[in-house]
Amino acid sequence: MLTKLIGYEMKAFGRIILPLYAATIGMAIIMGVGIRVLDERLFSTLLGAVIIMIFVSLIIATMVMTGLLCVQRFYRNLLGNEGYLMFSLPAGTHQLILAKVLSSLIWALLGGLAGICTVLVMGLAAAPMQDTIRFFKEISIHLRMLSLGKEMGAVAVWFVILILVFVSALMHIYTAIAVGHQWTAHRVLGSVLAFFGIGIIRNTIGSLVGQIGYRSGWADFFLERFDGNLLLSWQFQVPVIVSTLLLIAVYSAVTWYFLDRRLNLE
Amino acid sequence: MAVLECRHLTKRYGKLTALDNIDLLLEPGRIIGLVGPNGSGKTTLIKLAQHLLTPTDGEILIDGIRPGAQTKAIVSYLPDRDFLPAWMDVESLLRFYEDFYEDFDMNKAMQMLQALNIEPRRPFKALSKGTKEKVQLIMTMSRGAKVYLLDEPIAGVDPAARDYILRTIIGNYSENALVLISTHLIADVEPVLDEVIFLKQGHVELHENTDALRERTGMSVDNYFREVYRC
Amino acid sequence: MKWTFENGIPIYLQILGRLRTEIASGAYPPGVKLPAVRELALEAGVNPNTMQRAFAELERDGLVYTQRTSGRFVTEDAEVLKNLRKTLSEDVIEEMCTRLMHLGMSREEILSAVQEWAGEASGKAKNM
């Protein structure tokens, strides 16, 4: 059921996002070829300025659209008229929510991948073949060195943290929408207010926990072992991961409660 | 055994009471009309049965259990509004149903489309209102469900489409299935109904066999309905 | 012929009346197989249960019999059919006489009017 739901989300997102990817990569090729032919002179021509403007607009449009769709697919598809279809499927509410979260995450990651592809494609189009081959050789050497070092592990951990932070931010919005939907009128306003309300509650609890941590002394456990390297120390990473996971769990529970036990579609 | 049951079912929206302490037992093998003026609670009752609304008090049971993923597999629901993603074409919409509902009969649906000369490749949003309603009905009736909930299936369509929709409902009759049709156009559906439920301001005013009602009152259900709601 | 229903009379009774007339008139001749309930319900635009009820009444009156696998057939019992015609004609005669009496005609006047009509009708038939 979940895979079917996600598959459907892929189509709904893809029909809007994929053309944007294609256009962006297309512009990247045009820019690359321009650079190859005209070098830096490209940027001083009017045509070059236009190309860059379109290119940058496309990148911004793709990012904004991805973010917008992540929210809109939840708001419109579940709580608008299409909700009559989605909530009539033989799927649990948790599956409907999870499908939205996972598909948003997939599209965020695909967006990153598309960004890398855009840069690569532009490079390929801009540089002569020998340069490209040399470039890839160097990259692979660097990658091999990285994978041997402990930096690779840190990168992986930070990647996980990035994903968790994305999911928790997304779930924050979903929770706000689910709570805002309890109002009979002004549901959008309700969602916006709920968004800030939830933020305030979260920060308050966060600082409370921090204070308790300091006063009771258990925060010292982490602080004493802190070696000064913020980005690589587990003393920093573990609390971040645990607190974000907790936050996601609370958001999920609240969203599920309002969409399952208190659902009232307009 | 009842396939749809309401026990003291109550739904309030703020101060407004849409359904007030409703008790109903509906059995399979029946086509039942849910009638009443706008705001009498017809749509509220149907949405409660599909768990799109949460009861304020009491409960509603489908095949003995509370509405949820399990009941949605055996309930085929036609909402009173455009509920399909308009960007999909007709065939993808059918595939969507085929994907999610095990009881969906793709061949039957395609045959019905063909009989009505509806081009499967056309986007849903490009269809006329009457054709949209027909496609939605085809999708709903192509399932082999135990309960069909049809919310105003004939409102706002031309007489030919109305006739087609009613014939589809009769042609799809099954002894094991309950068909609940909400409507304010009783005259059109009257011959199709076994039983009729009159809702008035959130109460069940009457729940009776239609032929028994005609015999008892010497009136058509439609005329009797006009009498009851005259005030 | 299109099916239409009058207000205020149970629909199954209206269907029953129509099917009886069709059996009596030979539109459904003796021994012929009747359409399936579902098929006829679809044609009439009525609930299959209502059609079923009308069929059950026909069966109870012996006008129709069921063969387990192959369906429902019109009775071939001439006696039953004769009785059916008699019952139906009695209804018609009663209705006609009531209306004529309502017009102020006496029983004798009605009788002679009917005889006169029968004479003319047979005369017409001979001339044809």
In the predicted structure, residue B225 carries a pLDDT above the cut 60: yes
Which residues of chain B neighbour A4 with C-beta distances below 8 Å? 99-100
Q: Which of B137, B94, B95 has its CA nearest to residue B116?
A: B137
**Average pLDDT in the C40-69 region?**
91
Residue contact A85–B85, C-beta within 8 A: yes
Residue in B171, B194, B211 nearest the CB of C42: B171
Q: Tell me the residue type at A259.
A: L
pTM exceeds 0.95:
no
Q: Which of B170, B215, B223 sits opposite C41 (nearest CB)?
A: B170
> Looking at the partner chain, which of A8, A83, A265 has a beta carbon nearest the beta carbon of B96?
A8
Judge: B100–A261 Cβ closer than 8 Å, yes or no. no
**Residue B194 sits at the chain C interface (C-beta within 8 Å):** yes
Bridge pairing between strands B178-183 and B147-151: parallel
Give the pLDDT mean for C77-82: 89
In angstroms, the CA A100 to CA A78 distance is 10
The pLDDT value given to residue B114: 93
Higher pLDDT, A252 or C118: A252
Say yes or no for a CB contact (<8 Å) between B191 and C5.
yes
Q: Which residue of C has its CA nearest to B172?
A: C38
Chain B (27-56) residues lying within 8 Å, Cβ to Cβ, of chain C: 29-31
The CA–CA distances, whole Å, from B8 to A34, B88, B200, B206, B208 equal 74, 41, 16, 16, 19
User: CB-based contact (8 Å) between A81 and chain B?
Assistant: yes
- A227 vs A88, more confident: A88
Q: How far apart are CA B41 and CA B19, in angstroms?
A: 6
Q: What percentage of residues in chain A have a pLDDT greater than 70?
A: 93
Whether B231 has a pLDDT exceeding 60, the answer reads: no
| B63, containing H or E segment | none
The answer to whether C36 and B164 are in contact (CB under 8 A) is no
Compute how many other C-beta atoms are within 10 angstroms of the C-beta atom of residue A260: 18
% of chain B surpassing 90 pLDDT? 79
Contact B101 A92 (CB under 8 A): no
Check CB contact of A90 with chain B, cutoff 8 Å.
yes
State how far the Cα of B210 lies from the Cα of C50, in Å rounded to an integer. Answer: 10
Mean of pLDDT values over B99-118: 94
d(CA B150, CA B34) in angstroms, rounded, equals 10
Cα atoms found within 13 Å of the Cα of residue A140, Cβ hemisphere only? 6
Shortest CA distance from B179: residue in chain C: C47
Q: Please check the confidence at residue A144 and state whether its pLDDT lies above 60.
A: yes
| DSSP states along chain A | -HHHHHHHHHHHHHHHHHHHHHHHHHHHHHHHHHHHHHGGGGGGSHHHHHHHHHHHHHHHHHHHHHHHHHHHHHHHHHHSTTHHHHTTSS--HHHHHHHHHHHHHHHHHHHHHHHHHHHHHHHHHHS-HHHHHHHHHHHHHHHHHHHHSTHHHHHHHHHHHHHHHHHHHHHHHHHHHHHHTTSSS-HHHHHHHHHHHHHHHHHHHHHHHHHHHHHHSTHHHHHHT--S-TTT-HHHHHHHHHHHHHHHHHHHHHHHIIIIIS-B--
Q: What is the pLDDT of residue C7?
A: 86
Say what the pLDDT of residue A149 is: 60
Could you read off the pLDDT of B158-214 as tens digits, one per residue?
888 888 889 999 999 999 999 999 998 898 899 999 999 999 999 999 999 999 999
Give the C-alpha separation, B39 to B188, whole Å. Answer: 20
As to burial, measured by CB atoms within 10 angstroms (0-12 exposed, 13-18 middle, 19+ buried), residue B175 is exposed
Cβ contact B52–A83 (<8 Å): yes
From residue B86, alpha-carbon distances to A81, B124, B158, B209 in Å are 11, 5, 22, 39
In this prediction, residues B60-66 reach a mean pLDDT of 96
ipTM of the complex: 0.94
Angle at B178 between CA B127 and CA B217, to 5 degrees: 100
Res. C2: pLDDT tops 90: no
Average pLDDT, chain A: 88
Asked if B211 and C48 come within 8 Å (Cβ–Cβ), the reply is: no
Is the pair B, C in contact (3+ CB pairs within 8 Å)? yes
All domains in chain B, ordered by first residue = 4-85+147-158+165-228 (3.40.50.300)
- A132, two tokens: 């490209």
Q: Do B191 and C12 touch (CB under 8 A)?
A: no
Looking at residue A101, what is its pLDDT? 97
Task: Provide the shortest C-alpha distance from residue B71 to chain C (in Å).
Answer: 26
Comparing alpha-carbon positions, the chain C residue that sits nearest to B211 is C10
Best interface-test mutation with B: which of A84, A86, A183 has the largest number of B CBs within 10 A?
A: A84
Mean pLDDT of B113-133: 91
Residues A73, B87: Cα–Cα separation, whole Å: 14
C92-111: pLDDT as tens digits: 999 999 999 999 999 899 99
Kindly report, residue by residue over B38-51, the tens digit of the pLDDT.
889 999 999 999 99
Whether the predicted pLDDT of C127 surpasses 60: no
Query: What does the alpha-carbon distance between residue B76 and residue B63 come to, in Å, rounded to a whole number?
Result: 13
State the chains in contact with A (3 or more Cβ–Cβ pairs under 8 Å): B
Burial letters B126-152, b for 16+ CB under 10 A, else e:
ebeebbbbbbbbbbbbbbbbbbbbbbb
The token pair that represents B127 in the structure block: 């269809």
A89 and B100 within 8 Å at the Cβ level: the answer is yes
Cα B149–B150–B155 angle (5° rounding)? Answer: 165
- Give the residue from B141, B214, B225, B227 with the most C CB atoms within 10 Å of its CB, the best one to mutate: B214
Contacts of A136 (CB under 8 A, 6+ apart): none
Under the banding of pLDDT at 50, 70 and 90, the label for residue C123 is low
CA distance B166 to B147: 17
Model confidence at A153: pLDDT above 90: no
Q: Residue B102 in contact with residue B73, Cβ under 8 Å?
A: yes
Among candidates C8, C42, C46 on the partner chain, residue whose Cβ is nearest the Cβ of B220: C8
Q: Is pLDDT above 80 for A40?
A: no
- Condensed to tens digits (0 to 9), the pLDDT of residues A42-93 reads 777 888 889 889 999 999 999 999 999 999 999 999 999 999 999 999 999 9
> Which two tokens mark A218?
């258990």
Q: Which of residues 98-127 of C touch B (CB under 8 A)?
A: none
Least trusted range by pLDDT, from A213-222, B217-226, C38-47: A213-222
